[in-house]
Amino acid sequence: MTSFMLLSLLIFIPLVGSAIVGFGFAKSYDRSVAITAVGLQVLLLAFIASAFQVGEGFQFQESADWIHLSLGNLGHFSSRYALGMDGLSLPLVLLTGIISFIALWNSKEIKEKTAAYYGLVLLLNASLMGCFLAQDMFLFYVFFEFMLLPMYFLIGIWGGPRRQYASLKFFIYTLVGSLFILIVMLGLSMAYIDPYETALLNGWVRAGQNFDLDALLSVQKAVSAGEIPRNLLVHSFDISALSDVNNCLPGTIFTPNSGWLLAGMSGREWGFWFMFIGFAIKLPLVPLHTWLPDAHVEAPTPISVILAGVLLKIGAYGWLRMTIPFFFQEALQHANILAILGALSIIYGAYNALAMKDLKKLVAYSSVSHMGFVLLGIAAFNVEGWQGAIFQLVSHGILSALLFLMVGAIYTRTGDRDMDSYSGLAQLMPRFTLISGIAIFASLGLPGFSGFIGEFFSLMGSFTSVYVQPGVAIFGGLGILLGAGYLLWTFQKVYLGPLYLRDSSWNLADLTTLESISMYSLGICGILLGIFPGSLFRISEAFVLQWINHIS
């Protein structure tokens, strides 16, 4: 098996599974085929992870011509089917595979239109994989946009009583964010050139020839001096090309110090904020978060698991992969504003969680709060903050999935998510109480669990940052106290104290074997990451050091 096939297989295996299930070829084996497809994907991910060289850059890269257009006097446009994996994408694709497998495993409650359901989940999995692996922004955007459709239908068809409202709200919010990103993407593609493709078009290098630093600098110097005719320039969406400001054509609104201003902000500042907001909606960041509680409440439990465990991570991934590398000077200038927004999300999400009696809404608002730590760590622009932010992405993915499975287990047995409807469940469900305690104590940041590591390093980064005011970090840190308040209150109210059931006919049997394996597997992952955080830090270290050194 060549390296060319590996990353493509991560995308095409669920696509093939989706076609088999969606077109009715699996008949009564829809669930088995879907689980098998993602199971093969997870096995392939295990092989890739074992072969991954820690400390290196992009690996298992593959690239093929996709789109090449002549734009006349404007030059040429090129987009490639380009995939790669580095220390940022590897943890997130592993998370995607594991969470998708667990979500499918726990989809036994889906009894209607099962072929469509499992086909859409596999499509969603393929789209998520594509987002984390794409090295071309146009290719990323295709996966990013396509991801909307499966999630829209999964909520709108198999969701709760207000599913149409929740799915439409999710679609509109995300589509607006996509338009912000699209505007910047189009502007960047015309303002930047691809130095390698330009050198190839002008005959300065041959296909397959090594393109070293000297060749890169010579092309950039020629572009800056206006020595290359515009019709011989190649514009592309290559993420590495767009991350180097020296590839920007002189005289565009994205040229540094271009003098172009709108409402007192330069073109690069507008570009930064448009992309930031576009991905902030997906995170979601306060005040752009209101679609999330509705989507979680109406979505079936397995879809909430994927939504919280993986989908929200696209927002932070977009910041780290594109927004900051494309506009890192602008990001540094507004680092304190970013930190304030992160701290606001932490506190606002926690306060709302304190007021919730619906368990699913409580977990949804806790996600808003915990994802605020990600932005706080990113805004620090130091190694501690970025490592903490990436760790928090993975930790939250595991723990939020576990929390939603916990809520789903109660709802399946009672049809009720109101905390006032039951208490003392420890007497009836000891195994469930144990794993729920692990999920809750890990989420509130108790040492020994993954939640502690992510929050600790994000806060440490913000406290030691030269870009963030200490008061902002202190304000964000108060979210840990609020988190302990609503999580401990939930544990005490639901599991401890005298036994009370609003409906005496409820059959609150303890966890089934399937539920136990799913929930305890996630709990063990949260514990192992809390005890051995270096295993994840070593993977992301090369990516973090590369950009922190570049920024410094």
Phi, psi of 501 (to 5 degrees): -130, 125
pLDDT in tens, 85-105: 999 999 999 999 999 999 999
* Mean pLDDT computed over 117-131: 97
pLDDT given for residue 43 in this prediction: 97
Q: Residue 533, preceding bond cis, omega within 30 degrees? A: no
* Mean pLDDT computed over 205-225: 84
Cα–Cα distance for residue pair 30/118, rounded to 1 Å: 7
pLDDT in tens, 343-381: 999 999 999 999 999 999 999 999 999 999 999 999 999
* Mean pLDDT computed over 121-147: 96
* Mean pLDDT computed over 124-137: 97
Cα–Cα distance for residue pair 101/524, rounded to 1 Å: 16
Mean pLDDT value across the chain: 93
Q: Please provide the distance, in angstroms rounded to a whole number, between the alpha carbons at the two ends of the chain.
A: 40
DSSP 249: P
Under the banding of pLDDT at 50, 70 and 90, the label for residue 468 is: very high
Return the number of other C-beta atoms located less than 10 Å from residue 39's C-beta.
16
CB 445 within 8 A of CB 479: no
Integer CA distances (angstroms), 514 to 5, 117, 273, 409, 527, in order: 33, 20, 45, 11, 20
User: How large a percentage of the chain has pLDDT more than 90?
Assistant: 82
pLDDT in tens, 150-176: 999 999 999 999 999 999 999 999 999
Burial of 503 (0-12, 13-18, 19+ CB in 10 A): exposed
* Mean pLDDT computed over 231-236: 91
- Which two tokens mark 224? 């800056």
Closest to 304 (Cα-Cα) out of 206, 203, 372, 405: 405
Instruction: Provide the 3-class DSSP secondary structure of residue 283.
Output: coil
Cα–Cα distance for residue pair 484/185, rounded to 1 Å: 41
Delimit the domains of the chain by residue range.
Answer: 337-552
* pLDDT for residue 2 is more than 60: no
* Mean pLDDT computed over 215-242: 90
Give strand pairing partners of 78: 68, 236
Residues in the chain: 552
CB 445 within 8 A of CB 455: yes
Residue-by-residue DSSP string for 25-50: SSGGGHHHHHHHHHHHHHHHHHHHHH
* pLDDT for residue 479 is more than 70: yes
User: Kind of pairing, strands 500-501 and 59-70?
Assistant: unpaired
Q: Residue 14, preceding bond cis, omega within 30 degrees? A: no
CB 429 within 8 A of CB 508: yes
Under the banding of pLDDT at 50, 70 and 90, the label for residue 132 is: very high
- Which two tokens mark 382? 């130091």
Residue-by-residue DSSP string for 462-506: HHH-SSS-HHHHHHHHHHHHHHHHHHHHHHHHHHSSS-EESSTT-
pLDDT in tens, 21-63: 988 887 889 999 999 999 999 999 999 999 999 988 899 999 9
Look at the pTM and tell me if it is higher than 0.75: yes
Burial of 540 (0-12, 13-18, 19+ CB in 10 A): buried
Cα–Cα distance for residue pair 101/308, rounded to 1 Å: 14
* pLDDT for residue 3 is more than 70: no
- Which two tokens mark 394? 């993975």
Under the banding of pLDDT at 50, 70 and 90, the label for residue 206 is: confident
Integer CA distances (angstroms), 369 to 43, 353, 444, in order: 33, 9, 11
Instruction: Provide the 3-class DSSP secondary structure of residue 208.
Output: coil
User: Kind of pairing, strands 234-236 and 76-85?
Assistant: parallel
pLDDT in tens, 257-301: 888 888 889 999 999 999 999 999 998 999 999 999 999 999 999
* pLDDT for residue 209 is more than 80: no
User: Kind of pairing, strands 500-501 and 265-266?
Assistant: unpaired
Cα–Cα distance for residue pair 147/406, rounded to 1 Å: 26
Closest to 518 (Cα-Cα) out of 403, 425, 427, 429: 403
Encode burial over 227-257: b for 16+ CB neighbours within 10 A, e otherwise: ebeeeebbbbbbbbbbbbbebbbeebbbbee
- Which two tokens mark 304? 């909430």
CB 198 within 8 A of CB 232: yes
Closest to 93 (Cα-Cα) out of 59, 52, 128, 122: 128
pLDDT given for residue 1 in this prediction: 39
